[in-house]
Homo-oligomer: A and B are copies of this chain.
Amino acid sequence: MSAPTTEPPATNPTPVRPTAEELDHQRTAIAALGHELRALVDATVRTATPTETLHRVTEGVRRLTGQLTGRRRSRAEIPAVDEFPGGVRMYSPVTGAGSPLAPPMQVTPDSGGVVGHCTLGIAHEGPPGFVHGGVSAMLLDELMGWACYAAGTPAMTVSLQMRYHRPVPVEIPLRVYARVTGTEDRKIFVDGSISIEDDPSVSVVTAEGVFVAPDPDRARALFPSVSS
Protein backbone atom coordinates (compact mmCIF):
# COMPACT_ATOMS: atom_id res chain seq x y z
CA MET A 1 0.00 0.00 0.00
CA SER A 2 1.30 3.38 -0.90
CA ALA A 3 -0.40 6.53 0.21
CA PRO A 4 -1.69 9.84 -0.98
CA THR A 5 -0.35 13.33 -1.30
CA THR A 6 -1.89 15.73 1.19
CA GLU A 7 -1.49 19.35 2.15
CA PRO A 8 0.54 19.86 5.35
CA PRO A 9 -1.75 20.20 8.38
CA ALA A 10 -1.51 23.81 9.54
CA THR A 11 -0.85 22.82 13.16
CA ASN A 12 2.23 20.67 12.43
CA PRO A 13 5.64 22.12 13.22
CA THR A 14 7.96 22.23 10.21
CA PRO A 15 10.41 19.32 10.62
CA VAL A 16 14.13 20.09 10.69
CA ARG A 17 15.40 19.09 7.25
CA PRO A 18 18.91 17.61 7.09
CA THR A 19 21.23 18.96 4.38
CA ALA A 20 21.72 16.78 1.28
CA GLU A 21 25.13 15.68 2.56
CA GLU A 22 23.82 14.84 6.05
CA LEU A 23 20.94 12.94 4.47
CA ASP A 24 23.37 10.95 2.36
CA HIS A 25 25.51 10.06 5.41
CA GLN A 26 22.44 9.09 7.41
CA ARG A 27 21.02 6.91 4.66
CA THR A 28 24.39 5.24 4.11
CA ALA A 29 24.68 4.43 7.83
CA ILE A 30 21.08 3.16 7.99
CA ALA A 31 21.61 0.98 4.91
CA ALA A 32 24.87 -0.43 6.34
CA LEU A 33 23.09 -1.42 9.57
CA GLY A 34 20.21 -2.89 7.54
CA HIS A 35 22.69 -4.94 5.50
CA GLU A 36 24.40 -6.37 8.59
CA LEU A 37 21.06 -7.09 10.28
CA ARG A 38 19.87 -8.99 7.21
CA ALA A 39 23.06 -11.07 7.39
CA LEU A 40 22.41 -11.72 11.10
CA VAL A 41 18.79 -12.68 10.35
CA ASP A 42 19.97 -15.13 7.68
CA ALA A 43 22.61 -16.64 9.98
CA THR A 44 20.04 -16.92 12.78
CA VAL A 45 17.42 -18.81 10.80
CA ARG A 46 20.04 -21.16 9.31
CA THR A 47 22.26 -21.91 12.26
CA ALA A 48 22.48 -25.28 13.95
CA THR A 49 24.81 -23.89 16.63
CA PRO A 50 24.65 -25.16 20.26
CA THR A 51 22.27 -23.46 22.68
CA GLU A 52 25.16 -21.94 24.68
CA THR A 53 26.17 -19.94 21.62
CA LEU A 54 22.55 -18.88 21.07
CA HIS A 55 22.40 -17.63 24.68
CA ARG A 56 25.62 -15.65 24.21
CA VAL A 57 24.38 -14.09 20.96
CA THR A 58 21.04 -13.30 22.62
CA GLU A 59 22.87 -11.33 25.32
CA GLY A 60 24.87 -9.53 22.64
CA VAL A 61 21.70 -8.57 20.77
CA ARG A 62 20.14 -7.21 23.98
CA ARG A 63 23.22 -5.05 24.58
CA LEU A 64 23.07 -3.65 21.04
CA THR A 65 19.40 -2.74 21.41
CA GLY A 66 20.38 -0.87 24.57
CA GLN A 67 22.82 1.22 22.52
CA LEU A 68 20.04 2.54 20.30
CA THR A 69 19.05 5.06 22.94
CA GLY A 70 17.66 8.53 22.48
CA ARG A 71 14.60 9.62 20.62
CA ARG A 72 12.45 6.98 18.92
CA ARG A 73 9.93 7.96 16.30
CA SER A 74 6.34 7.37 17.24
CA ARG A 75 3.67 5.41 15.43
CA ALA A 76 2.83 7.02 12.04
CA GLU A 77 5.74 9.47 12.22
CA ILE A 78 7.59 9.61 8.90
CA PRO A 79 11.38 9.31 9.32
CA ALA A 80 13.35 12.46 8.41
CA VAL A 81 15.38 10.34 5.95
CA ASP A 82 12.28 9.34 3.96
CA GLU A 83 10.50 10.91 1.02
CA PHE A 84 6.78 10.36 1.34
CA PRO A 85 4.70 9.63 -0.61
CA GLY A 86 6.29 7.85 -3.54
CA GLY A 87 9.97 8.19 -2.72
CA VAL A 88 12.66 6.64 -0.52
CA ARG A 89 11.30 4.68 2.43
CA MET A 90 14.36 3.51 4.34
CA TYR A 91 12.50 1.07 6.60
CA SER A 92 9.93 -0.36 4.18
CA PRO A 93 9.62 -4.12 4.83
CA VAL A 94 9.84 -4.64 1.04
CA THR A 95 12.13 -1.98 -0.43
CA GLY A 96 13.86 -0.46 2.61
CA ALA A 97 17.66 -0.59 2.62
CA GLY A 98 17.43 -0.10 6.40
CA SER A 99 14.86 -2.83 7.02
CA PRO A 100 16.08 -6.14 8.48
CA LEU A 101 12.90 -7.71 7.00
CA ALA A 102 13.19 -6.50 3.39
CA PRO A 103 15.00 -8.43 0.62
CA PRO A 104 15.26 -5.35 -0.19
CA MET A 105 13.60 -5.10 -3.60
CA GLN A 106 15.15 -2.60 -6.04
CA VAL A 107 12.48 -0.73 -7.99
CA THR A 108 13.07 0.89 -11.38
CA PRO A 109 10.77 2.28 -14.08
CA ASP A 110 10.24 0.01 -17.06
CA SER A 111 8.42 0.33 -20.35
CA GLY A 112 4.85 1.01 -19.32
CA GLY A 113 5.29 0.04 -15.68
CA VAL A 114 7.77 -0.66 -12.88
CA VAL A 115 10.18 -3.55 -12.30
CA GLY A 116 11.48 -4.91 -9.02
CA HIS A 117 14.55 -7.06 -8.54
CA CYS A 118 15.31 -9.08 -5.40
CA THR A 119 16.39 -12.42 -3.99
CA LEU A 120 14.51 -13.84 -1.03
CA GLY A 121 16.19 -15.82 1.72
CA ILE A 122 15.41 -18.70 4.05
CA ALA A 123 13.96 -16.13 6.46
CA HIS A 124 11.17 -15.63 3.87
CA GLU A 125 10.45 -19.33 3.57
CA GLY A 126 6.99 -20.89 3.71
CA PRO A 127 7.18 -24.51 2.49
CA PRO A 128 10.77 -25.84 2.71
CA GLY A 129 12.86 -24.24 -0.02
CA PHE A 130 10.09 -21.98 -1.29
CA VAL A 131 8.96 -18.43 -0.59
CA HIS A 132 6.00 -17.90 1.76
CA GLY A 133 2.90 -17.11 -0.32
CA GLY A 134 2.37 -13.97 1.74
CA VAL A 135 5.88 -12.73 0.92
CA SER A 136 5.04 -12.96 -2.80
CA ALA A 137 1.92 -10.91 -2.00
CA MET A 138 4.11 -8.32 -0.23
CA LEU A 139 6.38 -7.92 -3.25
CA LEU A 140 3.43 -7.53 -5.60
CA ASP A 141 1.31 -5.27 -3.38
CA GLU A 142 4.31 -2.98 -2.94
CA LEU A 143 5.29 -2.86 -6.61
CA MET A 144 1.69 -2.39 -7.74
CA GLY A 145 1.49 0.62 -5.41
CA TRP A 146 4.66 1.96 -7.09
CA ALA A 147 3.00 1.44 -10.48
CA CYS A 148 0.10 3.68 -9.37
CA TYR A 149 2.51 6.34 -8.16
CA ALA A 150 4.58 6.10 -11.36
CA ALA A 151 1.35 6.61 -13.32
CA GLY A 152 0.75 9.80 -11.33
CA THR A 153 -1.56 8.78 -8.47
CA PRO A 154 -0.47 7.53 -5.03
CA ALA A 155 -3.11 5.00 -4.00
CA MET A 156 -4.00 2.32 -1.48
CA THR A 157 -4.90 -1.31 -2.10
CA VAL A 158 -8.60 -2.13 -2.11
CA SER A 159 -8.34 -5.67 -3.43
CA LEU A 160 -5.60 -7.99 -4.54
CA GLN A 161 -6.17 -11.26 -6.39
CA MET A 162 -3.08 -13.46 -6.09
CA ARG A 163 -2.59 -16.54 -8.30
CA TYR A 164 0.18 -18.99 -7.47
CA HIS A 165 1.09 -20.94 -10.61
CA ARG A 166 4.32 -22.53 -9.30
CA PRO A 167 6.22 -22.35 -6.00
CA VAL A 168 8.75 -19.47 -5.90
CA PRO A 169 12.23 -20.68 -4.90
CA VAL A 170 14.28 -18.92 -2.21
CA GLU A 171 17.86 -17.79 -2.97
CA ILE A 172 17.15 -17.29 -6.69
CA PRO A 173 17.07 -13.80 -8.28
CA LEU A 174 13.49 -12.77 -9.00
CA ARG A 175 11.95 -10.24 -11.37
CA VAL A 176 8.70 -8.55 -10.34
CA TYR A 177 6.69 -6.44 -12.75
CA ALA A 178 3.63 -4.21 -12.34
CA ARG A 179 1.70 -1.83 -14.56
CA VAL A 180 -1.52 0.14 -14.47
CA THR A 181 -4.06 -1.32 -16.89
CA GLY A 182 -6.91 1.16 -16.46
CA THR A 183 -8.72 3.66 -14.26
CA GLU A 184 -12.35 4.34 -13.36
CA ASP A 185 -13.05 7.44 -11.26
CA ARG A 186 -10.68 7.09 -8.29
CA LYS A 187 -10.10 3.35 -8.91
CA ILE A 188 -6.86 2.20 -10.50
CA PHE A 189 -6.51 -1.29 -11.99
CA VAL A 190 -3.06 -2.84 -11.81
CA ASP A 191 -1.53 -6.13 -13.00
CA GLY A 192 1.57 -7.69 -11.50
CA SER A 193 3.73 -10.78 -11.87
CA ILE A 194 6.76 -12.54 -10.41
CA SER A 195 9.16 -14.53 -12.58
CA ILE A 196 12.58 -16.08 -12.15
CA GLU A 197 15.23 -13.65 -13.40
CA ASP A 198 16.76 -16.32 -15.65
CA ASP A 199 13.40 -17.25 -17.19
CA PRO A 200 11.45 -13.98 -17.33
CA SER A 201 8.85 -15.21 -19.84
CA VAL A 202 7.25 -17.58 -17.30
CA SER A 203 5.15 -15.94 -14.56
CA VAL A 204 5.27 -18.09 -11.41
CA VAL A 205 2.88 -15.78 -9.54
CA THR A 206 0.44 -13.25 -10.99
CA ALA A 207 -1.77 -10.63 -9.37
CA GLU A 208 -4.59 -8.29 -10.25
CA GLY A 209 -5.19 -5.37 -7.96
CA VAL A 210 -7.66 -2.58 -7.51
CA PHE A 211 -6.18 0.50 -5.87
CA VAL A 212 -7.90 3.73 -4.90
CA ALA A 213 -6.65 7.28 -4.49
CA PRO A 214 -8.18 8.44 -1.17
CA ASP A 215 -9.99 11.77 -1.32
CA PRO A 216 -8.07 14.59 0.41
CA ASP A 217 -10.19 14.56 3.62
CA ARG A 218 -9.73 10.83 4.07
CA ALA A 219 -6.01 11.15 3.32
CA ARG A 220 -5.61 13.89 5.97
CA ALA A 221 -7.48 11.77 8.52
CA LEU A 222 -5.31 8.70 7.80
CA PHE A 223 -1.94 10.46 7.56
CA PRO A 224 -1.94 13.52 9.82
CA SER A 225 1.88 13.55 9.94
CA VAL A 226 2.39 13.96 6.20
CA SER A 227 4.04 17.33 5.74
CA SER A 228 5.62 17.30 2.28
Interface positions of A (Cβ within 8 A of B): 1-3, 25-26, 29-30, 32-34, 36-37, 39-41, 43-51, 53-58, 60-65, 67-73, 75-80, 84, 91-94, 98-101, 122-130, 132-135, 137-142, 145, 156-164, 167, 169-171, 222-223, 225-226
Contact = CB atoms under 8 A, between A and B. Distances in A.
Nearest to A63: B60
B41 A40 contact: no
Contact of A70 (B32, B47, B78, B162): B47
A49 B61 contact: no
What are the nearest 9 A-B pairs in CB distance? A134-B138, A76-B129, A137-B137, A3-B127, A29-B51, A1-B126, A29-B54, A46-B72, A36-B61
Contacts of A26: 51
Nearest to A64: B60
A78 to B, nearest CB: 5
A123 B33 contact: no
B123 A93 contact: yes
A156 to B, nearest CB: 7
A58 B36 contact: yes
Given A33-B54, A222-B127, A101 B101 contact: yes
Nearest to A66: B43
Given A29-B58, A93-B135, A128-B84, A45 B161 contact: no
Contacts of A51: 25-26, 29
Given A44-B37, A68-B57, A226-B128, A133 B161 contact: no
B170 A164 contact: no
B159 A162 contact: yes
A63 to B, nearest CB: 8
Nearest to A27: B51
Contacts of A2: 126-127
Given A43-B65, A100-B123, A137-B141, 17 more contacts: A1-B127, A29-B51, A36-B58, A45-B100, A48-B70, A48-B71, A49-B70, A76-B128, A91-B123, A93-B123, A93-B124, A101-B101, A134-B135, A134-B137, A138-B138, A162-B162, A167-B222
